[in-house]
C-alpha cells in the first residue's frame, strides 16, 4: 500500500522548458512534504520542502505546489537545465518530523534533453 | 561543512555472511537514520538513532541491527545475508529526532551473491 506515489517513472523535457514532477499521497495526516534529487552513485540531496499550511514554496528555479484537497503536490523547475537530469523523490512526513515518519515515493527520472 | 560520509562505498558478500556498514554524520547532527533503497521498493526506513539510542525501527527482520556511538557515528549490521539484501544502504543525518530534513550520504552498494 503506497502512501506516496510518483506515477511517472521517467520524464523527458527539453532544455529551457518547464519540468513538472507530480506526487500523490493518500494519508491526510501528512503535514510536511519534501523533494529530494538524486544523481547516480550519490545519496539523495534535499531540494525543497513545503508545510501543509502553505500551498506554494519557491526557491530560485524550483517551486513546489501543494493541493491538500486533491492530496497532490508538484515540483516545477523553470527553466530546466542539463544538470537537472536526475531522479527526483517526493517524501511526506507524519506530524512531528523524524526519519521514521518520512515516506518516500519511488522516484521519477527526469531527463533534460539539449 | 563536510557532508555525511559512508564506508565502504561498495561491498560484495556471499549468502550467510554478515556485514557492517559505517556512517559519519554532518558535524553537529545528532540523529542518524538508515534506509534501504531497492528498485522495486524505493527508499525504506530501517532505523533511527539519537543519543546512542534506537528511537524507531522500520519493518525489517532482526538480522538488521545498528548502533550509535557517543560521537554520533553509526554502524549498521546485517547478519546471515540473503540475496534479497542486495541494495543501496543510505545513511542520513539530521540535527535532531524531530527534524524533517534528512541529509543523505552517498550510500553503500551491497551485493550479495
Cell of A23: 506526487
Does A39 lie at the interface with B, CB-CB under 8 angstroms? Answer: no
Subunit contact B94:A99, Cβ cutoff 8 A: yes
How far away is chain B from the Cα of A46, in angstroms, using its nearest Cα? Answer: 7
**Mean per-residue pLDDT of chain A:** 93
Tell me what pLDDT residue A11 has.
97
pLDDT-derived band at B8, boundaries 50, 70, 90: very high
Per the CB < 8 A criterion, the answer to whether A46 and B101 are in contact is yes
In the sheet where B64-68 sits, what is the strand order? B5-7, B19-24, B74-78, B64-68
Q: Is A2 helix (H, G, I), strand (E, B) or coil?
A: coil
Sign of the alpha-carbon torsion through A44, A46, A47, A49: positive
User: DSSP secondary structure string, B73-104?
Assistant: -EEEEE-S--GGG-EEEEEEEESSTT-S--EE
Provide, as residue numbers in chain A, all residues whose Cβ is less than 8 Å from the Cβ of B102: 46, 99, 102
A36 contacts B104? CB cut-off 8 A? yes
CA–CA gap between residue A85 and residue A21 (Å, rounded): 12
- pLDDT for res A40: 85
CA distance B51 to B68: 7
Percentages (nearest 5) of helix, strand, coil residues in chain A: 5, 55, 40
Strand order in the sheet with A4-5: A4-5, A19-25, A72-77, A62-67, A56-59
Q: Region A74-97: what's the mean pLDDT?
A: 93
Q: Is B92 exposed, middle or buried (0-12, 13-18, 19+ CB in 10 A)?
A: buried
Which pLDDT value is given to residue B93? 94
Quick check: A75 contacting B, CB < 8 Å? Answer: no
More confident residue, A59 or B43: A59
pLDDT of residue B1: 63
Query: How many angstroms separate the Cα of B61 from the Cα of each of B77, B78, B85?
Result: 12, 10, 11
CB-CB under 8 Å, B42 with A98: no
CB nearest A100 (choices: B41, B45, B103) = B45
In terms of pLDDT, which residue wins out, B42 or B92?
B92
Cα B36 from chain centroid?
7
Closest approach of chain B CAs to the CA of A111, in angstroms? 18
Q: What does the block give as the cell for A102?
A: 518520512
Residue B60 pLDDT > 80, yes or no?
A: yes
- Find the mean pLDDT for residues B56-67: 93
pLDDT digits (tens, 9 = 90+) for B18-58: 999 999 999 999 999 999 998 777 889 999 999 999 988 88
Q: How far apart are CA A107 and CA B99, in angstroms?
A: 22
Amino acid at each position: 500500500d503506497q502512501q506516496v506515489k510518483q506515477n511517472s517513472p521517467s520524464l523527458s523535457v527539453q532544455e529551457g522548458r518547464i519540468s513538472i514532477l507530480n506526487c500523490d499521497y493518500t494519508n491526510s495526516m501528512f503535514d510536511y512534504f519534501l523533494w529530494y534529487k538524486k544523481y547516480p552513485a550519490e545519496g539523495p540531496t534535499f531540494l525543497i520542502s513545503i508545510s501543509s499550511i502553505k500551498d506554494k514554496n519557491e526557491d530560485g528555479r524550483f517551486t513546489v505546489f501543494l493541493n491538500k484537497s486533491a492530496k497532490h503536490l508538484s515540483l516545477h523547475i523553470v527553466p530546466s537545465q542539463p544538470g537537472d537530469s536526475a531522479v527526483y523523490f517526493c517524501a511526506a512526513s507524519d506530524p512531528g518530523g523524524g526519519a521514521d515518519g518520512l515516506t518516500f515515493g519511488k522516484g521519477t527520472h527526469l531527463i533534460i534533453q539539449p | 561543512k563536510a557532508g555525511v560520509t559512508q564506508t565502504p562505498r561498495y561491498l560484495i558478500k556471499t549468502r550467510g555472511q554478515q556485514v557492517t556498514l559505517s556512517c559519519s554524520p554532518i558535524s553537529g547532527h545528532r540523529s542518524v537514520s538508515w534506509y534501504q533503497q531497492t528498485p522495486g521498493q524505493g527508499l525504506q526506513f530501517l532505523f533511527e538513532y539519537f543519543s546512542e539510542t534506537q528511537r524507531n525501527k522500520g519493518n525489517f527482520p532482526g538480522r538488521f541491527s545498528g548502533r550509535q556511538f557517543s560521537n554520533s557515528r553509526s554502524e549498521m549490521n546485517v547478519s546471515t545475508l540473503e540475496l534479497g539484501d542486495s541494495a543501496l544502504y543510505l545513511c542520513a543525518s539530521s540535527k535532531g529526532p524531530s527534524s524533517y530534513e534528512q541529509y543523505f550520504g552517498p550510500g553503500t552498494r551491497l551485493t550479495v551473491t
